[in-house]
Amino acid sequence: MPAGDIFADQQTLATDATLDVRPAVGLEAVVHNLYYGASVEIYRVKGAIVTLVVSATGSLGTTAGPFRVSNIEYLQIKNKGVSTGIGYDGVYTK
């Protein structure tokens, strides 16, 4: 993907399922927004280091970035509510 192309995804996740906000090997992106329709936990993952950065409760929400992500340092969104849509948007930078 060329720099400037859209980096986005949206999935329906079951309770305790996760969505990795992670570009393919060799690519990097900046995430502008995370969207969720239920309670979530958002983690920053770098190898074996996993850090909880946001714990949001409620029915609808958004978390504004920017968050820089690559294939080795990325975000993971965990659905803590009922089955719901979860997504993100941003742009490729490399």
CATH of the domain at 70: 2.60.120.340
Does residue 64 have a pLDDT over 80?
Answer: no
Counting the structural domains of the chain, the total is 1
Q: Note down the domain range covering 12.
A: 6-92
The answer to whether 22 and 74 are in contact (CB under 8 A) is: yes
Asked if residue 1 belongs to a domain, the reply is no
**59 band by pLDDT with thresholds 50, 70 and 90:** low
Q: pLDDT for 45-58, tens place per residue?
A: 999 999 999 898 87
Asked if residue 49 belongs to a domain, the reply is yes
Q: Helix, strand, coil % (nearest 5) of the chain?
A: 0, 65, 35
Asked if residue 84 belongs to a domain, the reply is yes
Q: What is the mean pLDDT of residues 39-47?
A: 95
Model pLDDT, residue 70:
98
Q: Model pTM? A: 0.90
